[in-house]
Structure 1
Amino acid sequence: MKAIFNTDQGKVRGRNEDSGGIFLSDDQLLAVVADGMGGHQAGDVASQMTLDYFEKKWQEISHPFTKADGAKWLKGVVQEINQTIYEFAQEHPECKGMGTTVVAAICQNDAIFICYVGDSRIYIYDGDLKQVTEDHTLVNELVKSGQLTKENAENHPNKHILLRALGTEPQVNSDALTIEWSKQAQLLLCSDGLTNKLSDERLKDILSLDETLEMKSELMIKEANEAGGEDNITLVLIANDDGDLT
């Protein structure tokens, strides 16, 4: 597998409240993207705490996960992170109300374990592009209930309202799943600074290019900024090739 992490402050925000990274072991990798909640104090603190906690827990892993325990491990870590952020905010008044989204994926040669909270996304590309996460937003719930079309949801004024986030409540309800992927497939984890600016069709076009992961990630960020760049833009891109983990 090959993987790359890329992030950009964008053209409007005063600081980058996103965090993300890739952590390797012999037979599997962990990828994380966390988007600190805009409009709340210390969103960058919450997203960085999420990344640091994942890294600490990953260093404790000594063997590849089985298909029965990968997603379960992720859900447990997410719950611990939620409690850690929530308690930190209670003890530090300047951070009260901070929160973050998270998408996390453990990638092996044939399986991917995923856990997520919020509206950051994970896509898989294998000739076709499929969003494998579901936005935990008010607008998505309106779409699911038939009160709003998917087309109208794209530019809805309440699109940013999250129904779930890490750190804002003592407990959090995360979603987890296990999927398979084939050789040459690609996995994209990203914050909404990317998906609010690039359509699924454009993401598919870029992922289909005969270019390096670095070039694809740079093109995605460039086009998101050219479309306005109002938000931080963060992504991890992973290719399931035959090479060693890099």
Structure 2
Amino acid sequence: MKYVYQSDKGKIRQLNEDAVTVIPRKEALLAVVADGMGGHQAGDIASKLTIEQLEKLWTNADVHELDFKKWLASSIKEVNNLVYQKAQSDSSYQGMGTTVVAAVCTEKDLIIGHIGDSRAYLISKAEWKQVTEDHSLVGELVRSGQLSKEDAQLHPKRNVILKALGTEPDLEPDIFHSDWEGFDRLLICSDGLTNKVSDQELHDVICDTSLDNLGQTLVDLANERGGEDNITLAIVDQQEEVGDV
């Protein structure tokens, strides 16, 4: 597998509250995107803490012995409680939280866990599939049939999140487990990208752009359309060797 990842504060925000990492192991790699929220620098702290702790848990794990699905669910829950405890311990951090979308990728399988409205997509030349369901107000309205996907893109409350890591104890992440099913690339990203670039455009750009240039191409596209939010993404290409950057 080959991968790229990138984060940009956008054109408006003074601080990048997103965080991203990809950590390859011999048998698998872990990719994580977190989009922090909260006053002052609390969102920045929540997202960075989430990335750091998941990276530590992944690096210290015996990958040979792991049930990846159980590991991902329990690790996200553990990090959620850690962020929650930190938010409760300091008044300047109260109310902070973060989205998280994390993927364990092997040559054959994908295990994806998420909380919030950061997304995961599987992409091939022929099609794309959004794996995650947004834990957001407009996401619920779309699922209930009260709002179309097209109208959701423009809804004034599209950034209202109903579930975020670190905002309450013992949150359960959504977990998705599949083989690659004919897909070639996995995209995980914050809403700073998906609020500016449609699913169809993401598919077209990701299929038509070399992996080396893909991160910057997508960041530039979101910034050209306003760049009001931080923009963060990681892309894993299943067809290349693990560890190439």
Contact 1:41-1:98 within 8 A present in 2 as well: no
Identity %: 46
Please name the residue that 1:168 is paired with.
Answer: 167
Letter in 1 for 2:134: D
Q: Distance in 2 between matches of 1:183 and 1:124?
A: 9
Distance in 2 (alpha carbons) for counterparts of 1:160 and 1:195: 12
Structure 2: which amino acid aligns with 1:62?
D
* Shift in Å, 1:244: 3.9
Amino acid at match of 1:58: W
Counterpart of 1:224 (choices 222, 226, 232) is: 222
Q: For residues 65 and 22 of structure 2, what CA distance do their matches in structure 1 show?
A: 17
The reply on whether 1:53 has 2:53 as its aligned counterpart is yes
Q: How does 1:134-213 map to 2 (within 5 A)?
A: 134-181=133-180, 185-209=184-208, 211-213=209-211
Tell me the SS of whatever aligns to 2:49: helix
CA distance in 1, matches of 2:93, 2:233: 25
State the AA in 2 paired with 1:137.
S
Deviates more, 1:175-184 or 1:220-229: 175-184
230-239 or 171-180: bigger deviation: 171-180
Alignment of 1:1-246 (within 5 A): 1-37=1-37, 42-64=42-64, 69-127=67-125, 128-181=127-180, 185-209=184-208, 211-246=209-244
Contact kept in structure 1, 2:73 and 2:172, CA below 8 Å: no
Tell me, in whole angstroms, the C-alpha distance in 2 between the residues paired with 1:225 and 1:72: 37
Distance 2:49 2:28 in 1: 22
Contact 2:38 2:95 survives alignment (8 Å): no
Report the alpha carbon displacement of residue 59 of structure 1 after superposing the two structures with TM: 1.4
**Structure 2 alignment gaps of length 5 or more:** none
C-alpha deviations, 1:102-157, integer Å up to 9, x for none?
A: 00000000100110000000001122111001100111111111222222111111
Where do 5+ consecutive residues of structure 1 fail to align?
none
- Rate the CA distance shift 1:234–1:65 in 2: closer, same or farther, 3 A: farther
Once the 2 structures are TM-superposed, how far is the Cα of residue 172 of structure 1 from its aligned partner? 1.3
Secondary structure at the counterpart of residue 63 of structure 2: coil
* 2:241 alignment partner, SS class: coil
SS in 1 for 2:213: helix
Contact 1:183 1:241 in 2 (8 A): no
Scaled by the length of structure 2, the TM-score of the pair is 0.95
CA distance in 1 between partners of 2:88 and 2:240 (Å):
47
C-alpha distance after superposition, 1:196-219 (max 9, x if no partner)? 00001110111111x431311111
Count of residues in Structure 1 that have an aligned counterpart in Structure 2: 243
Q: Compute the RMSD of aligned alpha carbons.
A: 1.5
Contact 1:40–1:99 (8 Å) recurs in 2? no
Q: Deviations over 1:32-84 (max 9, x none)?
A: 00000155751000000000000110112223466xx2122111011111110
TM-superposition CA deviations, 1:137-182 (whole Å, max 9, x none) = 1111111112222221111111111110011112213100101115
Q: Do the aligned residues in 2 keep the contact of 1:42 with 1:95 (CA within 8 Å)? A: yes
> Is the Cα contact below 8 Å between 1:19 and 1:47 reproduced in 2?
yes
Give me the whole-angstrom Cα distance separating, in 1, the residues matched to 2:182 and 2:240: 8
**Residue deviations 1:6-28 (CA, integer Å, cap 9, x gap):** 11010000110000100011111
**3-state SS, counterpart of residue 36 of structure 1:** strand
